[in-house]
Chain A
Amino acid sequence: MTLNPFQLLFAILFTLTLTVKAQVKPVNYNAMPANGITLDTGWRYSPQDNPQFAEPAFNDASWGGINPIYPPHRIPQLKGAKIGWLRLHFKTGPNLGSRPFIFDMLQSAASEIYLDGKLIGKYGTLSANPSNVVPLGLNLQNQEVYLTQGAEHVFAVRIAPWRGPAINSNWLYLCQITLIDANQYIEITKTTIKGDEVYIALTSVFFLLSLLHLAFYRYDPTQRANLFFAVYAIISTLGFLGVVMQGEVQDCRIWLCVYVPAFLTTLMGAVWVIRALGTLFSFKINRLEIGLWCVYIITSFLIIFWQINRPFFTGLIIFGLVQIWLTVKALRMKKRGAGIIASGFAVSVVALAPFLFGVTISDLTHQLLILILFLAPALGISLYLAREFALDSSLLRKKLVQVETLSVQNLAQEQEKQQLLARQNDNLENEVAVRTSELQRSLSELKSAQTQLIQSEKMASLGELTAGIAHEIQNPLNFVNNFSDVNREMIDELKEELKAGNIDEALAIANDIQQNEEKIIQHGKRADNIVKGMLQHSRSNTGERQLSDINTIADEFLKLSYHGLRAKDKSFNADLVTHFAESLPSVNMVPQNIGRVLLNLFNNAFYAVNQKKKIAGADYKPTVEVTTVLKDNFIEIIVKDNGQGVSDAIKDKIMQPFFTTKPTGEGTGLGLSLSYDIIVKGHSGSIAIESTEGLGASFIIKLPLTSKNNESV
């Protein structure tokens, strides 16, 4: 069914007539509760905005009822409302009498308050545009109003609601007006001021604690409990600051930004305390910590989106229990200083007790208890950490003293060691000096011994020569003597022939005598050479260079060597084979030195073949060969034997001094060494050995035909 406009107008007029007739009954108040009279019933609301509504005479019987003590978003009548009006009719009874009251209000809106048509207060900026509303609703300036007993009073409130975030049921109410006594007002004011003082004190103390422990952490980063505790203190400082501020701000928007975080930070601080406790007791609480943060997030969520008190206190209790549990655990484990922290918590619990059991206490006690409640655990932990710091410091000081003592000892030891070392060095140097002089002495002794050895080597080879020399001298002497003797006889015969006048015969005899004389001269020279050679050989190594014939020297010494050996060992025999190159140039050399070398090689060769003869069969023919060859710019002398040969193992060694294969006493070991020196150093030649073990050996001497060594061709 639809109504036409007339029917509608009629209906409205009819209704208005009815309502005009009906008068709103005022609310009666006849007692003053402890917290004052909260005007929580009898309110009427109109979403219209009309200055008439301020008038006490205005009949609002047609308005709907409303309970303004709810957050705006939970009041259905306010849906879509901009600026509207609240009206309340009330009376005060005889118990209250006619007297002034303090008018206290809080609101989540901007409003103008009229009492009996008179504007008594204007809070915030009203606007038809909700986003322009400035909601000053808290900590507002109180007004004094005079109320007459039995008279009907009307509060008319022109109100522009601020909705804020529509998430929590506990947020600010739309409008709450309380009437209180002057006495009550004084008490409330006092309490508020003291409460502020407590929280200001807590803020300061916690701020100082945070600075203190940050400093501790700064100086000793290994104790991370200091950091966590400092974080806790900072967070708590912010929380307490929030509590202080929420008692000061008027703007609802700012208040919301202070009030809720105050709860959230207080809770968060509790989690950091647990972290600090875990660290300073060295508990592994990683998993527990994750759980706690989960609890924190859940409670925070609930605080923001549901309500404050229940989740907040639940979280606080959970965290407090965990803190107490950790402390008890530490106490049981007899952790150093756990008692201090435990005392802090104990004191805190004692301070909490009166609140839990609802004991009536004076305001002052209340403030003190709150102070103690918050401060005791924090101070406990702070004291503990400070004590740890102090203990560490004193320990460090002790350690420092120890270290200093030790380093002094160390230094002393070091010095001692250095002195010892220096002494040892001195000793060592002395010893080295002594040894050096000893060594030099033995070196010079060795040198003289070497000289003696070289001399004795010469004498030894001379000794070997003696027999050969004897034989060699006997032979020429034999001729000298006998040819002389024959000549004497022949001269006698010559005389006889001459007397007999046989000239031809005499001439023949004279020729013979002449020939014999030549033989005598020849063999005399031969003996002379042998003696000279012997003398030269025994002389020291300063023979003069002279042009000499290699073949002559080789032949001479080959025979000397051979007969020398024969003289010693009658059974010894060997074939001497000579391949002397014809027309060899004379070589500029020290003949007795070259002779000594050849003698050595011949002696060795004869020794080798003789040794082999002792073990070889009857077919073995000991042979020593001497070959001289003229090459481009040098003469080669090869002394070859078919003796035992030289093994590869000792080939490199045979030129070394004192190396000998002969039985002890038979060789000095210097022969080849001296030969090497004479050929290589004395005559710029070379001496080499070719040998097949068991088949014989060849020593090859090369004497260069340089201008130095060779002066005629």
Chain B
Amino acid sequence: MKILVVDDEADVQPLFLQRFRKEIREHELEFDFALSGEEALVYLQEKHSEVVLILSDINMPGMSGIDLLSRIRHDYNAPPPPIVMMITAYGDDENHRQAIENGANDFLTKPLDFSLLKEKLKTLLA
């Protein structure tokens, strides 16, 4: 299962790779990364069919996560639609509401609770 992680923090990449090293090693999960919404859209143009899950930060310079979400829901929502999870440092209701309104499947707050994330992935994959 291919997961696209969109975050402007570059260190998110090693973090994910480390956290999911077992799953990666066992080829359960495959990660791709984008450092901005724009980069993510470029990536999706080619590989939207491969990607099952998109994890995106909301607060990014340039295109925000919410924008990216609405673009995905608009452009790449052909069935099966990708699962989109929003991640933000601001775990407030307003962010949550906006994310859900724009079609996010789930909403996670930073610092990321990877065990919770893994639980959710298991649920999704089950």
**Interfacial residues, chain A to chain B (CB-CB below 8 A):** 467, 470-471, 474-475, 477-483, 485-486, 490, 512, 515-516, 519, 522-523, 562-563, 566-567, 570-571, 573-576
Contacts and interface: CB of A to CB of B under 8 A. Distances in A.
Contacts of A575: 61-62
Given A570-B66, A574-B61, A475 B19 contact: no
B23 interface: no
Contacts of B98: 570
A576 B112 CA distance: 26
Interface of B: 9, 11, 14-15, 18-19, 58-59, 61-64, 66-67, 89-90, 94-95, 98, 110-112, 114
Contact of A515 (B14, B66, B90, B95): B14
A97 B91 CA distance: 183
Nearest to A479: B11
- Which DSSP category, helix, strand, loop or mixed, fits chain B's interface? loop
A182 to B, nearest CB: 165
Given A477-B110, A478-B111, A486 B62 contact: no
Contact of B110 (A478, A483, A566): A478
B114 A482 contact: yes
B18 A474 contact: no
A618 B62 CA distance: 14
| Main DSSP-derived SS at the A contact region | helix
A482 B14 CA distance: 11
A416 to B, nearest CB: 79
Contact of A512 (B18, B64, B111): B18
Contacts of A486: 15, 18-19
Contacts of B111: 474, 477-478, 480-482
A471 B63 contact: no
Nearest to A570: B98
B112 A482 contact: yes
6 contacts: A479-B11, A482-B19, A570-B94, A571-B66, A574-B61, A575-B61
A575 B62 CA distance: 4
Contacts of B89: 470-471, 474-475, 478
Contacts of A480: 111
Contacts of A481: 111
A571 B59 CA distance: 10
B89 to A, nearest CB: 3
A519 B67 CA distance: 30
A12 B112 CA distance: 195
Centre residue among B58, B59, B63, B114 by max chain A CB count within 10 A: B59
Lowest 9 CB-CB distances: which A-B pairs, in order? A474-B89, A478-B111, A471-B89, A481-B111, A478-B110, A576-B61, A486-B18, A474-B110, A573-B64
Given A471-B89, A519-B14, 20 more contacts: A475-B89, A478-B15, A478-B110, A479-B11, A482-B15, A482-B19, A486-B18, A486-B19, A490-B18, A516-B14, A519-B11, A519-B15, A567-B90, A570-B66, A570-B94, A573-B62, A574-B62, A575-B61, A576-B61, A576-B62
* Most B C-beta atoms less than 10 A away, residue of A470, A478, A563, A574: A478
Of residues A480, A519, A573, which shows the largest number of chain B Cβ atoms within 10 Å of its Cβ? Answer: A573
Contacts of B67: 573
Nearest to B91: A474
Contacts of B59: 471, 563, 566
Contacts of B58: 570
B61 A478 contact: no
A515 B98 CA distance: 36
Nearest to B94: A570
Contacts of B66: 570-571
A512 B18 CA distance: 8
A576 B35 CA distance: 14
Of the candidates B58, B63, B111, the one having the most CB atoms from chain A within 10 angstroms of its own CB is B111
Nearest to A624: B61
Nearest to B59: A566
Contacts of B14: 515-516, 519
A566 B64 contact: yes
Contacts of B63: 573
Contact of A516 (B18, B64, B95, B114): B18
A485 to B, nearest CB: 7
A523 B66 CA distance: 26
B12 to A, nearest CB: 8
A570 B58 CA distance: 9
Contacts of A576: 61-62
A485 B62 contact: no
